[in-house]
Structure 1
């Protein structure tokens, strides 16, 4: 065949091949919408409105950065009924707000709390505004506010307008003895991390749920996973048969009394106590203070500091039987703990060294029962103190509090709008760990369902 005829034959073949292919595409593909829909979905999957993300946008970083004009609080989300009941500790919200059930909360009551507060928080139309009054210790106020902002992102448009005062210190502030008789009608509502039988502070989750950068304690969601993995490293019966405690003993008389038990050469009280030098640890990169590496003993001791201690949740989560030294104060979740089910109680008013020794001896002679108590305490933390429930506690507390307000919340002249961008984007290189923990604990997607169902009052 001549080159000319070969070229003509090839041209005719290509022509009819193209015609046939186009016809096949027209009949088999274009008419089948699922084909291109599948390709499009693979390349660029579409998200439902309920799963729209709120990324941290620091692209326009400058010293006058403002909150996005499209704020999470403006997005409508389909409501669904809650599938689960809240943990039992949520019912204590009713108790904490009881002082204002009959009177409601007036603006004058809120203002009375200003003398105690580190900051005022105002929520209006799903946006947060903060008026700062005094410096809090380290970054307690920063991560408390950050946590509230994440709640607004989790439940956009669902938090009612409110106005409150917040205290970030250790000691309780609103004493019952100062608000008796006629003064009981003007109790200032003050949000705080702990409470006791002699005070009226409104209990709120502490800042460490979003991270404690000064001590390199990561956000709770990350830490909880690490503790769960840490529990698997050493089986309970293979752990050291002693009671372990590590911390700063110089913040309370209780801890100084505990430290007297650390004399194994003279009289072994079955305890192993270690002083935590946080300054030294900081210089060494916190190599010896990883919480998940401290689940090595069969028993762990919880003892209060100035007041309550954030360490309680880390200790309980370790699978070790917690020897809980008679606490005076409580945070929001510990009021549901049951002695001899979740922990072994130690009475501080007696001989603490002897009581610790007896508890350890009992546990070593009844290993199955001791292990069961340790695992029950850890299970309580793993199942009832997940971040989802922490946020739901916050949601219900703020919602119930807002119902009591007898005035319309307004934005104070000295307040500034707070959002994830105004907090995280302005962190410089020296504050990299703060920004790291913020990004790590940031809520990116609103929740589909409503919060858990709140239990009735006690």
Structure 2
């Protein structure tokens, strides 16, 4: 299935969901094994992710999409390899409560072939069993795809990302030799930086204060939250890779460390990721609390104002601090602290308030993935995907000073159908653009385009250390391609992230 058709189907499901949520039509429909739809990257052999995934949309015998859950155990998924006695695969079927299911699985071994059985009351659904012709490599297998264009085609990556184009348009060229000398002098004493060189698919790093063949590239990563490059383009700016950008800086934006880790550790050590949120969106829209909700720490003055506003208008806003750090002297005014609330419990409320912290609030992807509507503060900070978001389409905008927050909450209450439509559009945006395959494509395209700008050869600089790569000794595999090591691992923000593990 093409990426365009895939996106079109998802939009169709979203429109159906919106229509039937409002009318309550077909709530009691029974899914049909023959009519039910199945699609997604996890049904393709060459899409290798830490956790593969695909979708199941329940459809009744008349061809109508179900818009409420037929039951979380409606579909059974089994995966077997005909030539293996056992399969080391962890499978989860996540009920998205809207008539669709997200199936994710993590492989711990490589198989000659893989048969995916999707069953409804012991009947095969759609074109089940889906057969992935092998070898089907597990995520830790050392078997790189030597061709970048082939990998991009396999992953259905878009041709361009507008944020990458905008960031790199500031640079006619990049000189690794000049950067290696000047960037540590400008930023190395006051900021936490990592200087990376990828050469012959080996990674070297020096710190200051999935399998695909990458080009040789040399770059600096800002480990702090605040973007660094404040010069104007006419003042010989330096390329700095950061998690967050701003209207007043020139940093090159990457997906945040939080979103990156959630992708890499899905079905692993993280409890919050873009898939788990989709199965934990709380009660139906009609049953959600119509109060606007927020929890967080005191990392910005506007957050203090929000809590103050909540106390004055408790019937409109439920906002409180879970931690004080920046304004500890004001704790008596804005406390007491409240207990942490499970993120999934946020979605008991129709309206989610998103306010900047020290920089952009990195929870926005997860808020969008739920089925509440986001009221997003106007901000000078942005993440890698903000350029694609549209106010009044994917979220309800609020002024930076929160001066119109009460007005916007009241608008949402008075226009319930429109608010639901915005909530579902934001949710569909997250499903289309913030899942693991999209994040991997973004990283690859960013490094690919940046490497083209280099006018001198990347070098292994004095003080750099080789980053040791993960071992797949536990479940070794035989690679049918020319053998080469292409796992690219960067130690980023207190954790080691495997950014490219792209077979």
TM-score range, shorter chain: 0.5 to 0.7
2:207 corresponds to which of 132, 136, 153: 132
Match of 1:171 in 2: 226
Question: Aligned partners of 1:167 and 1:443: how far apart in 2?
Answer: 16
Deviations 1:388-408 (A, max 9, x none): 111100101111000001111
Deviations 1:375-400 (A, max 9, x none): 11111112211111111001011110
Which entry has the higher C-alpha Rg, 1 or 2? 1
Deviations 1:62-114 (A, max 9, x none): xxxxxxxxx6569789936726765698122111011212x443521343222
- How many residues are aligned here? 340
Match of 1:22 in 2: none
2:112 corresponds to which of 46, 53, 66: 46
Give the alignment of 1:79-90 within 5 angstroms: 79=150, 82=153, 86=157, 90=161
Deviates more, 1:125-134 or 1:114-123: 114-123
Higher strand share: 2
**Displacement of 1:319 after TM fit?**
1.5
1:188 corresponds to which of 238, 257, 279: 238
**Displacement of 1:187 after TM fit?**
1.6
Higher helix share: 1
Deviations 1:287-320 (A, max 9, x none): 9443222211110001101221211112222211
Higher relative contact order (CA 8 A, sep 6+): 1
Task: Please give the secondary structure, in 2, of the residue aligned with 1:128.
Answer: strand
Alpha carbons of 1:374 and 1:107: their partners in 2 closer, same or farther (altered >3 Å)?
Answer: same
Alpha carbons of 1:310 and 1:367: their partners in 2 closer, same or farther (altered >3 Å)?
Answer: same
Q: Given the two structures, how large is their TM-score scaled by the length of structure 1?
A: 0.65
Match of 1:111 in 2: 181
Alpha carbons of 1:118 and 1:330: their partners in 2 closer, same or farther (altered >3 Å)?
Answer: same
Task: Please give the secondary structure, in 2, of the residue aligned with 1:399.
Answer: helix
**Displacement of 1:257 after TM fit?**
2.2
Alpha carbons of 1:221 and 1:176: their partners in 2 closer, same or farther (altered >3 Å)?
Answer: farther
* Superposition RMSD in Å: 3.7
Question: Aligned partners of 1:407 and 1:240: how far apart in 2?
Answer: 58
What are structure 2's unaligned runs of at least 5 residues?
A: 1-80, 87-110, 114-132, 326-337, 475-490
Deviates more, 1:403-412 or 1:44-53: 44-53
Check the 8 A contact 1:321/1:371 in 2, yes or no.
yes
Match of 2:424 in 1: 375
Match of 2:306 in 1: 258
Check the 8 A contact 2:112/2:136 in 1, yes or no.
no
Question: Aligned partners of 2:267 and 2:135: how far apart in 1?
Answer: 32
Give the alignment of 1:202-351 within 5 angstroms: 202-211=252-261, 223-231=273-281, 233-248=282-297, 250-264=298-312, 267-268=313-314, 270-277=316-323, 288-349=340-401
Question: Aligned partners of 1:373 and 1:268: how far apart in 2?
Answer: 24
What are structure 1's unaligned runs of at least 5 residues?
A: 1-38, 57-70, 135-153, 280-285, 426-433, 448-458
Match of 2:95 in 1: none
Match of 1:156 in 2: 212
